[in-house]
Chain A
């Protein structure tokens, strides 16, 4: 019996129903092999409309220059950095699920890793737009981002956290892509063999690279996959740490703290898991994945959201405590005056509600297993984490040390257009992903089913032997 293996702490099965390799194969590939429905086309049209907003905003930024953004003095980092950090953070849940939970042998990751990894890739693509565009004329700016012998005869300054960022984010994207594709190859082979139309067979066959499930291949493949997971694990922690260095290495009140790296990483995972819930709750219904993405998986993710939400709350508490304990009037003023009672105080309190209060409902099992409720909370968390980045970036800059140099910040239409546009890019890519690529790691699910079946047999055998005593 498939679900025979009972975990004492959580007896619910990872895969619901009596499944065979064939039934899993058919049910998990169904959403790729069937034609696109009306719902998909509707969503895709909306996503393309939003994507066109990105096109217009990018075009206008390139035509007009960086003056089209709301950045000014003293707020020289505006929406660009806010959105960059927000998107990068969202990507982190994918790597956590695919790599860290793999190393910890968390079996519930198998149902959601493909989905979350795709989210990582698309989120990093959205994030990359901002640092590239904030240079104004990217084709002139490349010399200080990439070490190549330019005619300026000048090298990048490697002591700058912004340079570390370039290396961290580009490495992160490359490794995430390779990890994702490596995991995808056997699934593409299944698609090649299950597809009926010649075109699909050809295209999927091309990307399956001629995979034939050879035992000699699996022996090396498993290790390559594990090594990529092992490399991704410190990588994901380093990426958001380095993003936080962009702030922490400076001397601005509110930025210059040692708690930033861990607190940024926790926040990244917090927002990333929320984004997975936002997409997965509807997707598991429409793609027919309820038997592999069960309430157990969703509940586990909500527990991670609760835990990381508490870490983020602790981060806020520590920031405020140290601001008071340091005795620095600038730090104290930043946290207890500017942020709580300044011009952006509305966003501050929205952040506190979304990130600190909203996840607390997850202490109740009835709420963390309620689909509608968890979807709403995930939206709150997405908003809350955007507000956090807004508070960090804008408040510290607009009122720093000298009141005579204080200023204000308001985004332009282009800023808002770029932000909405990246949501369009993300949605477009995600919808394409869900149409053309299996949203669940089919091969790994089959392997998990096989393992569970073996364990169930072993357990039954053990009970039989025990009964004979």
Chain B
């Protein structure tokens, strides 16, 4: 590496637990002990993970609501501008502005905007796609985290005291512990 010394990657302590219950308990304990930047890695959503990590209410519903309302406004104003203001089409003297006829498209655009914001919004909140993450440096993680492993990761600066964290996790009964130093890519 040309400028290897200037690169200061993060350091992770990665621990594996036998069961999801052990993972949940350990996460809660570590968080209550004051450890920051905890994360869990499980093959499927484990019930109670939000409480264990101390997460608040999810943010995505707010995004979706805003975009669904934006969809309603967009659709109705688009139809109104095009069919009433810019180029009214008078068919047999029926009302130019007919709200019932606008309902279907207004509804569809609310769903379209809301649905797209749900997908792209959650991708933004998760900061994905991002193909690289230091936890992937662990072979064990790559083999098991998406299959049947329950992992806990603690992030710290590159010179963080991994020993203290390792000791704390060992007490909690982790089946496997390793320290990952982020390498430059």
Contact = CB atoms under 8 A, between A and B. Distances in A.
Mutual binders A and B: yes
Interface of A: 20-22, 25, 147, 153-159, 161, 163-164, 167-168, 170-171, 174-175, 178-179, 181-182, 186, 189-190, 192-194, 205-206, 209-224, 227-228, 231-232, 234-235, 238, 242, 245, 443-444, 446-447, 450-451, 454
B44 A212 contact: no
B104 A168 contact: yes
A161 B103 CA distance: 11
B111 A235 contact: yes
B73 interface: no
Given A213-B42, A450-B20, A25 B49 contact: no
B41 to A, nearest CB: 4
Given A189-B146, A212-B41, A220-B122, A174 B115 contact: yes
B119 A213 contact: no
B58 A175 contact: no
Given A214-B40, A231-B111, A192 B61 contact: no
Interface in B133-150: 133, 135-136, 142-148
Given A157-B83, A224-B60, A231-B115, A213 B43 contact: yes
Contacts of B142: 193
B121 to A, nearest CB: 7
B184 interface: no
Given A178-B116, A190-B146, A215-B39, 8 more contacts: A167-B108, A171-B111, A210-B133, A212-B41, A212-B145, A213-B44, A231-B115, A238-B104
Nearest to B119: A178
A168 B126 contact: no
Contacts of B130: 209-210
Contact of B146 (A168, A211, A232): A211
A215 B41 contact: yes
A171 B108 contact: yes
Nearest to B41: A213
Q: Which one of A157, A186, A223, A232 has the greatest number of beta carbons of chain B within 10 Å?
A: A223
A50 B183 CA distance: 52
A451 B47 CA distance: 9
Nearest to A446: B44
B112 A174 contact: yes
B128 A209 contact: yes
Given A155-B83, A224-B119, A21 B148 contact: yes
A223 B49 CA distance: 14
Nearest to A177: B119
A104 to B, nearest CB: 19
B34 interface: no
A194 B144 CA distance: 9
Contacts of B66: none
B168 to A, nearest CB: 18
A21 B20 CA distance: 12
A189 B41 CA distance: 12
A20 B79 CA distance: 54
Interface string B13-54: 000000010000001000000000001111111110110110
Given A163-B105, A443-B44, A215 B58 contact: no
A234 B27 CA distance: 39
A375 B123 CA distance: 40
B44 A186 contact: yes
12 contacts: A21-B43, A157-B89, A193-B145, A213-B41, A214-B41, A215-B27, A216-B39, A223-B58, A238-B107, A238-B111, A443-B44, A451-B47
B126 A228 contact: no
A43 to B, nearest CB: 30
Interface string B77-112: 011001100110101001000100110110111011
Given A155-B82, A213-B42, A221-B122, A167 B104 contact: yes
Contacts of B55: 215-216, 219
Nearest to B145: A213
Contacts of B102: 158
A215 B40 contact: yes
Nearest to B64: A227
A78 B143 CA distance: 55
B164 interface: no
Query: Nearest 8 A-B pairs (CB), nearest first?
Result: A21-B148, A209-B129, A224-B122, A215-B40, A155-B82, A447-B44, A164-B104, A175-B115
